[in-house]
Structure 1
């Protein structure tokens, strides 16, 4: 092979075409010479026989400085020996080798070569030469290393952030997370807690969520309450998020610019602060509810007295009507007179007592979290539950819509229903004492179930227990007292709900409460309680 395979063959007379074979060989030679990849051809011992122009650009060696010398002149001596051994093993087996070598440029600088070597075979299938093609990928390698190092640096920084942090794509898939996020997953018992938090926040913020996403802005200090139920205490998190765009790095976006939107979400555990605040709140609630109970007892006492006085008054009215129908003589007139005086005195007393009945506190309708109310009620009654040896099985749905309602009325209602259950189980002969409370929702309704393992309520009394002043304590059945169920019915009616005693439950008593889902909203304020 000549030093310059591109030397042109002997010229032909004008107009005379070159033979096809010679023309193709010349084209092939010129193609190799002008190829943008460094190409060299060697003999079986790696002695250089030919180099193209790109070889000179990459290595710095001109053809006259390369031809006749061994390819080893390019070696920086820092490439492991094992790499060369594998190279020679493959090409001597007439296989193509591809790999990376650390070479040295003519000016002394090192460069990383992406090299492919293939054997050239004769007609007898013997290796006669080798062809090598390589590129200087030093800059590409440096950029790749920088990207890798930056990625490691970012992951290290993110991993060291002391709050749960996660990066989500537009489909809410996790792109990047940290160790605190993995810990959060275990704490909440969720494989992908980010999706749960996103669902809660998206529902709470409603249209504001989409507006922020479109503007690529963010939000801060959105509080989320998460309640697993059972023996797990509620947890609170302060969430912050920020949207931003990055160019799509997928192959299909090469010719079409397409920015991808990402959300960086942080979830700070503020449970400790919230528990301290809740403890103060519970103590305040105890004092408030103690006062409310006194007022309620006074209200019930007066209402009971009115109820008992009203009976005789009604009898007096009936007696007067009967006497009048029979005809009034002198003696009857005197009797009717006395009856009217007694009735008038009784009605006056009833009117006085009605004026003495404390008015109900008709607080404003606000978004109420039923899980939080029920949990607070359990906490308020903890001492009594422990004293009676009652085990509480608390099974809330972690994510529950808020109900527009009167918080104090609902709390009092739940407290009285649970107190009825406690009284039912706190009797001799009741061995298993369990209080099971659960919440859930479906497409149309919010549900609350309160079960006990007491003696239950007979079928014939399931409706009667909601009547005013009815109590099962005096009927010989020894079941629920019925106290407060009239008030419970009233509160449920105020909230467009339904309360009933499940006739199919035979292990005690199960009170089912339902609220219309269309009478609920998702809390729009800054603080959003879920659980």
Structure 2
């Protein structure tokens, strides 16, 4: 095949000129046409054995020479293609505009580089990575063209498959109703989907991945690094997020899995280094949380309605006993006075008084038996932020209908206290209900309720303030006495609310006071110890 190509080239062109154009100075000028055999043979062998398909054509693209790689790539032996036009390799799938650009470039004595769809001798198509360069004479005229091309079909198909797989992955990700993002070890986003992009505009917090990663690391602490090193995932990490302007609260659940892949940079060519990635799934669970909150509030309403019923019965019976005890004390005093006289003239009256006392005592004893017992309570760690949040949710409709502005200022990471969650809920509901009623009765157009939680060195402080009429100084001690109320007669208030509130605070070894320095309404300050144990006896003796 080599002899055939060279012979054909010698017969149809000046071989010496062509070689001189390809490798100037290789041919010596001693003797007309004399060849330096050693460089010439080396040059010919190089062209023949180079692993690139090489062809030389005249100005009309008629093939004058092909090397062995050309025959291997195209399937055409030298004797099959010499003298034929390069166009016989072309496939109609290559657009005419490509050939137009090709000829315009090489005709202007420039090198053209591009890709063509060629046809193998057997009929199959292949992708050719082609370079064509014009060969110029001493006067700068085009005499021949040299073409070099490689079959890049396998590389092309592999690249297309990789692109298609990437597009498939992106399509699957974009079809997901969840926000999904792939993050590298520098927290840079490598791949995301449409739902994730939507979060960028919805949350208004910059890159959502960075925001959620920060919260995940803070919540998980050392567990984050441990799971990352073991390539173990995490799931159902829930976070509350305020959207732009704090106008809306949304809940999200985060799931993540780490995976590794081989590094693709040049530096890792001889080193099987791995790179770790995290695929993070962010699920909007706002609706689910809302349903859970609604169910939680419904459960709270049921529990608190029962507590309210028991408390109402207790207050009614205790109030009746109090009212009976007042005249009973007077009757007992009269009875003792008559006994002191002991003149025998009032024996019938004394007997009547004793009978009345006996009936009264029986009535009180009967009512005492009718007083329902308080439910058994469980002492457990309680988060006061959660308890107060529950009460605000419980009173949401009432607060909204009255146009009350709530300033809820909880301290983040508030420590738990040991106590009865149910009793504490009763305590704060009583105080918040009192604040709402005071503002409504005051008929103030700018009604404000502020609730603050704070931590001290060894205590937790809760402040509940309103801008209602307040409690006069002279009545501040009395409001904690049984059956004393600041509400007008006929309001249905038994005057036991703050008595029960103080009782619950005492059970938790805390303190409750009315702030004397607050003059815009009323402010209750309640403090609970952090490290003092709470006894079950304090609750059982209530």
Fold shared, TM-score > 0.5 on shorter chain:
yes
Paired residue for 1:90, among 96, 101, 105?
105
Q: Per the alignment, do residues 495 and 428 of structure 1 end up closer, same or farther by CA in structure 2, a change over 3 Å counting?
A: closer
Paired residue for 1:404, among 403, 416, 424?
416
Structure 1 or 2, whichever has the larger Rg, is: 2
- Per-residue CA shift, 1:99-157, capped at 9, x if unaligned? 11111112221111011112223333333322211110111111111112222222222
Measure, in 1, the Cα distance between the counterparts of 2:512 and 2:40: 94
Measure, in 1, the Cα distance between the counterparts of 2:461 and 2:200: 27
Query: Contact 1:369 / 1:401 at 8 angstroms: preserved in 2?
Result: no
Paired residue for 2:439, among 400, 408, 425?
425
Query: Contact 1:367 / 1:402 at 8 angstroms: preserved in 2?
Result: no
Measure, in 1, the Cα distance between the counterparts of 2:299 and 2:289: 15
1:159-198 aligned at under 5 Å gives the runs 159-185=174-200, 188-198=203-213
Paired residue for 1:379, among 388, 393, 412?
393
Q: Per the alignment, do residues 234 and 85 of structure 1 end up closer, same or farther by CA in structure 2, a change over 3 Å counting?
A: closer
Give unpaired runs (5+ residues) of structure 1: 11-18, 307-352, 475-480, 520-531
Measure, in 1, the Cα distance between the counterparts of 2:107 and 2:516: 86
Q: Per the alignment, do residues 454 and 123 of structure 1 end up closer, same or farther by CA in structure 2, a change over 3 Å counting?
A: farther
* 1:257 shift after superposition: 1.2
The answer to whether structure 1 residue 63 and structure 2 residue 75 are counterparts is no
The count of residues paired between Structure 1 and Structure 2 equals: 448
Partner residue of 2:23?
A: none
Query: Contact 2:505 / 2:512 at 8 angstroms: preserved in 1?
Result: no
- The residue matched to 1:125 in structure 2 has which SS? coil
- The residue matched to 1:153 in structure 2 has which SS? helix
After alignment, is 161-170 or 491-500 more displaced? Answer: 491-500
Query: Contact 2:512 / 2:524 at 8 angstroms: preserved in 1?
Result: no
Partner residue of 2:93?
A: 78
More contact order relative to length (CA 8 Å, sep ≥ 6): 1
Partner residue of 2:114?
A: 99
Q: Per the alignment, do residues 295 and 62 of structure 1 end up closer, same or farther by CA in structure 2, a change over 3 Å counting?
A: same
Partner residue of 2:293?
A: 278
Q: Per the alignment, do residues 103 and 387 of structure 1 end up closer, same or farther by CA in structure 2, a change over 3 Å counting?
A: closer
Query: Contact 1:499 / 1:513 at 8 angstroms: preserved in 2?
Result: yes
Measure, in 2, the Cα distance between the counterparts of 1:376 and 1:179: 35
Measure, in 1, the Cα distance between the counterparts of 2:378 and 2:302: 18
Paired residue for 2:134, among 106, 110, 119?
119
- The residue matched to 2:110 in structure 1 has which SS? coil
Q: Per the alignment, do residues 152 and 70 of structure 1 end up closer, same or farther by CA in structure 2, a change over 3 Å counting?
A: same
Measure, in 2, the Cα distance between the counterparts of 1:294 and 1:446: 30
Measure, in 1, the Cα distance between the counterparts of 2:527 and 2:392: 20
Query: Contact 1:38 / 1:53 at 8 angstroms: preserved in 2?
Result: yes
* 1:59 shift after superposition: 1.0
TM-score, with structure 1 as normaliser: 0.65
Partner residue of 1:326?
A: none
- The residue matched to 1:257 in structure 2 has which SS? coil
* 1:79 shift after superposition: 0.9
1:130-529 aligned at under 5 Å gives the runs 130-185=145-200, 188-220=203-235, 222-228=236-242, 231-235=247-251, 237=253, 239-290=254-305, 363-366=378-381, 368=383, 370=385, 372-392=386-406, 400-401=412-413, 403-405=415-417, 406=419, 407-408=421-422, 411=425, 414-415=428-429, 418-419=432-433, 421-423=435-437, 425-428=439-442, 430-435=444-449
Give unpaired runs (5+ residues) of structure 2: 1-5, 20-25, 28-33, 323-367, 488-494, 533-542
The root-mean-square deviation of aligned C-alpha atoms, in Å, is 5.4
After alignment, is 401-410 or 60-69 more displaced? Answer: 401-410
Measure, in 1, the Cα distance between the counterparts of 2:209 and 2:272: 29
* 1:273 shift after superposition: 4.0
After alignment, is 102-111 or 357-366 more displaced? Answer: 357-366
Query: Contact 2:250 / 2:284 at 8 angstroms: preserved in 1?
Result: no
Q: Per the alignment, do residues 73 and 291 of structure 1 end up closer, same or farther by CA in structure 2, a change over 3 Å counting?
A: same
